[in-house]
Amino acid sequence: MKLVCFWLRRKLSPYLDGEIPSLKAEKIKAHLEHCPECQTKLEELQGLGRHLRQIQTPQPSPHLWENVLKRGQSRVFREDPGRDRRFLTLFRPRLALPLLIMGAFIALMVMLIPELSFLRQYSLIVNQAQAIDIGLYLDELKKGPSARTFDQKHQAFTTSADQARRKCHFGVVIPASLPGGYRLVQTKLLKSLCCFATQNDYRSGENIIYVFELPPQHPIDFGRRELIRKMMNGLWYNQIKAENLQVMNWEGSDVNLTLVGNLLEEELLKILKYLTQGKPGQFHSYSQQKGGE
């Protein structure tokens, strides 16, 4: 067998099917005219194709459709296939990515937009954690000029004499007998001011809540800085009348805290009314109790 014939016989099949470029087909045709062996081979292949096409195919059973129905009855026709398919289309790859991106966008919006904070249920926990930090900070302040302070940036306590000059604006004594206890006020404070610390008096069972000044660059702000400034400059606690409230005297302490004890009763009620969002009854009872003592 010649080399040309060897090469050509591999191309006979596509040549027979008309799937060879015209230029090559012309060359093969020219060769076939002069090569009886290759010509026989081609006829052989053509004959096989004819044999295949001559196989008679019987008619399918007239009940084929019924049989398809019967086969599928248990699997398909009892349900609404359209509905199922519409549901399944959600999982198509071309829809999955846009849905994922949309989900990520909504999550980002919830995180960033303050108005959507109601969707962030965990924000209170974060605030509580920060409030605990402030409590620790206050405790540290009481230790003196060399007190360590909690550094938000490095998430650690650092020593700084400047930090010891923070001002505490006022303190509120919450008696143990108050309905709801100090935790209620603490929660309200958390929601409104977000800058307080608590101290527990183990002997009397009373709890003192300190509201104090925020450092200029303090990360805890939540838009309440302005409110605190108003409280500081206003008349709420300038006119001191020490009757019903316990005076918190920290003068013996090394820390230079401006104590704001002896608030006027009505001023305190005003603050507490604000803090408790319209539930001053509990503080009335406190006031009455105090007054009764």
Q: By the 8 A CB rule, do 219 and 133 touch? A: no
- Please report whether residue 45 would count as binding other proteins according to CB under 8 A: yes
Residue 283 tokens, joined: 């503080």
- Please report whether residue 221 would count as binding other proteins according to CB under 8 A: no
Of residues 72, 144, 205, 219, which one binds other proteins by CB under 8 A?
Answer: 72
Of residues 58, 216, 252, 292, which one binds other proteins by CB under 8 A?
Answer: 58
Crossing angle of the two packed helices 281-292 and 265-276, in degrees rounded to 10:
150
- Please report whether residue 1 would count as binding other proteins according to CB under 8 A: no
Q: How many Cβ atoms from other residues are within 10 Å of residue 195's Cβ?
A: 24
Of residues 33, 37, 77, 179, which one binds other proteins by CB under 8 A?
Answer: 77
Q: By the 8 A CB rule, do 135 and 198 touch? A: yes
- Please report whether residue 65 would count as binding other proteins according to CB under 8 A: yes
- Please report whether residue 40 would count as binding other proteins according to CB under 8 A: no
Query: With CB under 8 A as the contact rule, which of the stretches 65-73, 172-180, 185-193, 209-217 interacts with other proteins?
Result: 65-73
Closest C-alpha to 179, from 104, 277, 281: 281
DSSP state at residue 245:
S
Of residues 22, 56, 121, 155, which one binds other proteins by CB under 8 A?
Answer: 56
Angstrom distance (rounded) from CA 14 to CA 16: 5
Give the count of residues interacting with other proteins (CB under 8 A). Answer: 37
- Please report whether residue 37 would count as binding other proteins according to CB under 8 A: no
Pick the closer one to other proteins by CB: 54 or 121: 54
- Please report whether residue 24 would count as binding other proteins according to CB under 8 A: no
Q: By the 8 A CB rule, do 160 and 146 touch? A: no
Pick the closer one to other proteins by CB: 14 or 280: 14
Angstrom distance (rounded) from CA 150 to CA 133: 7
- Please report whether residue 155 would count as binding other proteins according to CB under 8 A: no
- Please report whether residue 59 would count as binding other proteins according to CB under 8 A: yes
**What is the per-residue DSSP string for 48-81?**
HHHHHHHS--PPPPTTHHHHHHHHHIIIIITS-H
Query: Closest distance between other proteins and the C-beta of residue 112, in Å?
Result: 39
Angstrom distance (rounded) from CA 39 to CA 32: 5
- Please report whether residue 74 would count as binding other proteins according to CB under 8 A: no
DSSP state at residue 118:
G
Pick the closer one to other proteins by CB: 83 or 154: 83
Query: With CB under 8 A as the contact rule, which of the stretches 9-17, 110-118, 243-251, 257-265 interacts with other proteins?
Result: 9-17
Angstrom distance (rounded) from CA 102 to CA 110: 12
Query: With CB under 8 A as the contact rule, which of the stretches 53-61, 122-130, 144-152, 181-189 interacts with other proteins?
Result: 53-61
Query: With CB under 8 A as the contact rule, which of the stretches 22-30, 55-63, 147-155, 183-191 interacts with other proteins?
Result: 55-63
The per-type count for the chain, helices as H runs and strands as E runs, is 11, 5
Rg from Cα positions in the chain: 44
Sheet holding 168-174, edge to edge: 168-174, 207-212, 196-200
- Please report whether residue 14 would count as binding other proteins according to CB under 8 A: yes
Question: Which chain residues interact with other proteins by CB under 8 A?
Answer: 10, 13-14, 17, 19, 44-45, 48-49, 51-61, 64-65, 67-68, 71-72, 75-77, 80-83, 85-86, 88-89
